[in-house]
């Protein structure tokens, strides 16, 4: 039976990984998660490798240069790194040292399988409150360590058999079930609770942007 909402949302103590090929619904799923995260209480850095218009359309999001200081003010900050391995390592280290900084990484394959900075953030994320939402279309190329640090896994359709086999090692779902996923449908696994749910299409577009806008408005109404 398909659920229409996330059974349990990630918190600042959790890293969430969203996987799927281009056009599968991966970005929509990640954005729906992101809309409910803590960006109204602390800064979140959005690494927009693909110049995705959906990310750019988040109400109130601000541009941030790759060499700019890590913001202290809550909000959403869009960074545009070059799509090469290691291009965000220095920012990841500074954000981790700063503490209380969330990170949305799209597309994670550009971080590189051997990024020591990413390992640092994923390892210390809970104690330093540096939660990560990590998107990738090729989990086989990000290595096993990042997947072991994820407390929530959401997977959409993956074209390559080797990617489906990789994810089946971390979620209680078969390779055949993963292959049967249609566009915008996903499996959502709460690692801590060991609960798996099959999700239908999540809210998308203006409906999600309205969530961002409403939560931003409530924050400023309290000032």
pLDDT digits (tens, 9 = 90+) for 106-164: 988 888 777 899 999 999 877 889 999 999 999 988 888 889 999 999 999 999 999 99
pLDDT digits (tens, 9 = 90+) for 25-76: 999 999 999 999 999 999 999 999 989 999 999 999 999 999 999 999 999 9
| Domains within the chain, CATH numbers bracketed | 2-221 (3.40.50.300)
> Residue 150's pLDDT is what?
95
Segment 168-195 mean pLDDT: 95
Greatest Cα pair distance, the chain, in angstroms, is 52
Q: Tally Cβ neighbours within 10 Å of residue 13.
A: 12
Q: The pTM is what?
A: 0.92
> Residue 221's pLDDT is what?
45
Taking CA atoms, 143 is separated from 5, 29, 167, 193, 206, in Å, by: 29, 22, 11, 24, 35
The C-alpha angle 150, 190, 213, rounded to 5 degrees, equals 85
């Amino acid at each position: 039976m398909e659920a229409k909402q996330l059974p349990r949302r990630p918190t600042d103590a959790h890293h969430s990984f969203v996987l799927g090929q281009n056009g599968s619904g991966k970005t929509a799923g990640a954005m729906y998660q992101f809309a409910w995260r803590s960006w109204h209480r602390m800064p979140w850095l959005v690494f927009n490798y693909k110049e995705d218009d959906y990310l750019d359309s988040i109400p109130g999001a601000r541009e941030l240069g790759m060499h700019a200081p890590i913001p202290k003010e809550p909000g959403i900050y869009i960074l545009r790194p070059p799509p090469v391995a290691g291009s965000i390592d220095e920012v990841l280290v500074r954000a981790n040292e700063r503490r209380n900084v969330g990170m949305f990484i799209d597309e994670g394959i550009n971080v590189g399988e051997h990024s020591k900075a990413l390992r640092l953030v994923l390892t210390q994320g809970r104690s330093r409150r540096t939660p990560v939402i990590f998107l990738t279309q090729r989990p086989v190329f990000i290595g096993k360590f990042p997947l072991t640090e994820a407390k929530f896994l959401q997977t959409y359709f993956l074209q390559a058999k080797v990617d489906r086999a990789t994810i089946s090692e971390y979620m209680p779902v078969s390779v055949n079930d993963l292959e049967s996923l249609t566009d915008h449908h996903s499996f959502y696994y709460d690692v801590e609770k060991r609960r798996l749910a099959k999700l239908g299409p999540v809210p998308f577009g203006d409906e999600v942007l309205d969530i961002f806008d409403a939560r931003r408005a409530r924050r400023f109404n309290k000032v």
